[in-house]
Homo-oligomer: A and B are copies of this chain.
Amino acid sequence: MGARVLIDRIVGSFAAKPRGVRRADRLTALLRTLISERGEATGAVLARRAVALYLGLDAAGRQHFFQKLARDFAPDRDAVLKAAFAYHANATPAHLAALQRVAEPARQEVFRRMNMAPGGTAALIKMREELLVAMKEHPELEAVDHDLTHLLGSWFNRGFLELRRIDWGTPAAILEKLIEYEAVHQIQGFPDLKRRLERDRRCFAFFHPALKDEPLIFVEVAFVNDLPADVAPILALESAVGDPRRARCAVFYSITSCQPGLRGISFGNFLIKQVAQDLHAELPNLKIFATLSPIPGLRAWTAKRTGTSPQGPAVIEASREKLESLAAWYLTREWSSGHVLDPVARFHLGNGARLERLNWMADASDRGLAQSFGLMVNYVYDLGDVERNHEEYVKRHRVVCSGAVEKRAEAAAAWIESASAVPTSNP
């Protein structure tokens, strides 16, 4: 195969540097060819080789490779300025095309070419996962991440995703991944998972055609009689299996993203609404679509804001009224850059859900106590209201919530003011 000769010629001898770095140099040289005219006839072969080279890089090689991508595959500053002048002077299609050509970093074409190889998409997702790690110490790599994110966001457009129901007839290879990824309420092996797939439960996941059998995100649903105040009965392995046609409420009790390399590319909004809509059509008896959600940032915020944090079940129990009030305040009044502080609240309120109810001791696990004194919260998705709720949130920076929650939040004002006088440990 002629491509072999070409590759050998390209990779030349890069003898003095460490092995990983030499491999990264070889990869970079190969990518240069891949995006040149010469890469057209043998693009598939070169892309395959590039993916293999990338996957074989060690940590040093990856670091070197990312730096090269950041430095050597960026737009030319003079060319950009020239094209911008031309477009500014005369906004013709040709000038615009030229501008786009020089303003787009060459690494985007690199990624598109690598994607042509079998397994290319999976390799790019892995690359982004590793890049996100590398970025912690090398913020200059952000530009590379920007391009990868742009492409992956475009490729994982909702229109290309497939919603699949997960049940006990699903291949074990997929179920195994749910067990591995589920973070909110850990799944203790296949028997535990099986209970979560019985007829009074549902599980749905988004898949992408290029990542066969690899879920992107999944949601777990339980059918219950009413808005749930406690997560334990939902997770109980031994519970009796209910009749889905008699349930009034569908609880989204866990939503899990599976691909760290797709972080920030949001599927959850679509997933919840699509599933709510489909369940509504299938089971007209369902009247309430709601979550039972954690409040991950509550305890840390309380400690910081009030300078104290109740410890131990007894103390927590004694502080119930105060803690509930603080939680209501935290979820509705604490904003930063146009969003509420709590990440889970941000997600659901941004999607147009309504903050319905605080549930005392809804998650009495160690983790639940440590995060939020055992408090959980219901967000309600009323498909007829999400647009209005969303606008309230986005435009007027107001959290749509029930009267009970609002009352609690107002009651918190006193606690907050008195606390403000106290010096906090985290200023």
* Residues of chain A at the chain B interface (Cβ within 8 Å): 1-3, 5-6, 37-38, 40-45, 74-75, 77-78, 80-81, 83-85, 87-88, 91, 93-94, 96-97, 99-100, 103-105, 112, 115-118, 120-121, 139-140, 142-143, 146, 150-151, 154-155, 157-160, 162, 168-173, 175-176, 189-190, 194, 209-210, 213, 269-270, 273-274, 350-352, 383-391, 394-395
9 A-B pairs with C-beta separation under 8 A = A42-B387, A43-B270, A80-B99, A93-B146, A112-B157, A115-B159, A154-B154, A159-B210, A172-B194
Residues on the B chain within 8 Å of A1, using CB: 383-384, 387
Question: Given that A159-B117, A172-B190 are contacting pairs, would A273 and B44 also be in contact in the complex, using a CB cutoff of 8 Å?
Answer: yes
Copies in the complex: 4
Q: Are A80 and B88 in contact (CB under 8 A)?
A: yes
Residues on the B chain within 8 Å of A384, using CB: 1-2
Set B78, B162, B172: member contacting A169, Cβ < 8 A: B172
Q: Are A171 and B173 in contact (CB under 8 A)?
A: no
Further 15 A-B residue pairs, CB within 8 A, beyond A74-B91, A77-B91, A176-B190: A1-B387, A2-B352, A2-B383, A38-B390, A41-B269, A43-B158, A44-B158, A81-B88, A100-B150, A116-B158, A117-B159, A151-B154, A154-B154, A160-B160, A169-B173
| 5 closest residue pairs by CB, A with B | A2-B387, A41-B390, A84-B84, A209-B209, A93-B143
Q: Are A96 and B75 in contact (CB under 8 A)?
A: yes
Question: Given that A2-B386, A93-B146, A97-B143 are contacting pairs, would A269 and B171 also be in contact in the complex, using a CB cutoff of 8 Å?
Answer: no
Question: Given that A41-B387, A96-B105, A100-B103 are contacting pairs, would A159 and B2 also be in contact in the complex, using a CB cutoff of 8 Å?
Answer: no
Q: How far is the CA of A112 from the CA of B386 in the complex (A)?
A: 22
Residues on the B chain within 8 Å of A103, using CB: 99-100, 103
Residues on the B chain within 8 Å of A43, using CB: 158, 269-270
Name the residue of chain B whose CB is nearest to the CB of A120.
B159
Q: How far is the CA of A44 from the CA of B143 in the complex (A)?
A: 30
Q: Are A77 and B81 in contact (CB under 8 A)?
A: no
Residues on the B chain within 8 Å of A150, using CB: 100
Set B88, B171, B210, B385: member contacting A78, Cβ < 8 A: B88
What's the minimum C-beta distance from A174 to chain B, rounded to whole angstroms? Answer: 8
Q: How far is the CA of A1 from the CA of B382 in the complex (A)?
A: 9
Q: How far is the CA of A171 from the CA of B189 in the complex (A)?
A: 16
Q: Are A38 and B394 in contact (CB under 8 A)?
A: yes
Q: How far is the CA of A121 from the CA of B190 in the complex (A)?
A: 29
What's the minimum C-beta distance from A327 to chain B, rounded to whole angstroms? Answer: 24
Set B115, B172, B386: member contacting A41, Cβ < 8 A: B386
Set B2, B84, B172: member contacting A170, Cβ < 8 A: B172
Q: Are A154 and B155 in contact (CB under 8 A)?
A: yes
Question: Given that A37-B394, A80-B87 are contacting pairs, would A155 and B158 also be in contact in the complex, using a CB cutoff of 8 Å?
Answer: no
Q: How far is the CA of A269 from the CA of B274 in the complex (A)?
A: 39
Q: How far is the CA of A37 from the CA of B274 in the complex (A)?
A: 20
Residues on the B chain within 8 Å of A116, using CB: 157-159, 270
Q: Are B385 and A115 in contact (CB under 8 A)?
A: no
Name the residue of chain B whose CB is nearest to the CB of A84.
B84
Q: Are B159 and A168 in contact (CB under 8 A)?
A: no
What's the minimum C-beta distance from A224 to chain B, rounded to whole angstroms? Answer: 25
What's the minimum C-beta distance from A397 to chain B, rounded to whole angstroms? Answer: 12
